[in-house]
Structure 1
Amino acid sequence: MTTLMLVCPSCGGLNRVPQERLGDKAKCGKCHAELLPEHPVNLDAGHFNTYIQKNALPVLVDFWAPWCGPCRSMAPQFEQAARTLRGRVLFAKVNTEAEQSLGARFQIRSIPSMLLFQNGQETARVSGAMGAAEIQRWLGSQGV
């Protein structure tokens, strides 16, 4: 039985979850929040590193801003992809207006930009608005 480490999106607690239970609604042992939400998690600078580095599943992060039209139009598509790929990929969002240090750290030059992290390392990135099916295809092309 393979056990995966998942970070709680609410409290940041570390949780061990058997791989075969990823389809279940696993809850955090500390705060009882859902570990695999059907929607993207909002990350700030304080939680970013733990969420990216400690999760066993790949994490796709959408860097966006509230004033960005393409970002707003892609948001429901990103949500749909998060629901479809629940248990296989974790989806997160970083508001580059509120978290300018993260935008600078990852040299975000255009938004929306999506960065894929696996085992704590950035493995791929793509810029521009995409539909849910395009996001899924792109992730598939990255071996996810």
Structure 2
Amino acid sequence: MSRLQPGDTAPAFTLTSDTGESVSLGDLAGRKVIVYFYPAAMTPGCTKQACDFTDSLDALKAQGYEVLGISPDKPEKLAKFRERDSLTITLLSDPDRSVLTAWGAFGEKKLYGKVVEGVIRSTFVVDEEGKVEYAAYNVKATGHVAKLRKDLGI
């Protein structure tokens, strides 16, 4: 599994959102985009992370950032997640895990001391030209958004 590094071209994608719309990374060219991958909607860690991004969205947008959260969940589950937790970030569905794999966010990881295959909680910042500016793998759900904002100076 290859991991993205700063300076790499971000892999293109078009995915279905929780509202049924198609969202492409290319549609956001010219803007800075935070792309984060999480294992499953409506689980405690993923809920904390999504709520943290939602709580920070105004500050992020004020600095020119869009936020896309991607998981293998189907759009219907993502819609319930948005509604249940009043999320305002864009949630995208990658059920075949092709985008997760292209970004290095799916593969072997340690879970409770065992090696398993699954979603690797990861966050990326893509610049206006479509290049990876920031890449972090195996991030913690709690406190990650605050650390990211600090790293980005927001």
Please provide the CA RMSD for this pair.
2.9
Instruction: Specify the alignment match of 1:135 in structure 2.
Output: 148
Instruction: Specify the alignment match of 2:72 in structure 1.
Output: 96
Q: Which amino acid aligns with 1:112?
A: R
- Displacement, 1:117? 0.3
- Displacement, 1:68? 4.6
Contact 1:60 1:92 in 2 (8 A): yes
Q: Which segments of 5 or more consecutive residues in structure 2 lack a partner in the other structure?
A: 1-16, 74-92, 107-118
Q: Which segments of 5 or more consecutive residues in structure 1 lack a partner in the other structure?
A: 1-40
Q: Distance in 1 between matches of 2:148 and 2:37?
A: 14
Runs of 4+ residues deviating >6 angstroms: 41-44
Q: Distance in 2 between matches of 1:58 and 1:75?
A: 18
Taking only the aligned residue pairs, the percentage that are identical comes to 17
Q: 1:97-136 alignment to 2 at 5 Å?
A: 97=73, 98-99=93-94, 100-109=97-106, 110-118=119-127, 119-126=129-136, 127-131=139-143, 132-136=145-149
TM-score where L is the length of structure 1: 0.55
Q: Closer, same or farther in 2 for the Cα pair 1:43/1:96, shift >3 Å?
A: farther
Q: Distance in 2 between matches of 1:58 and 1:47?
A: 15
TM-score where L is the length of structure 2: 0.52
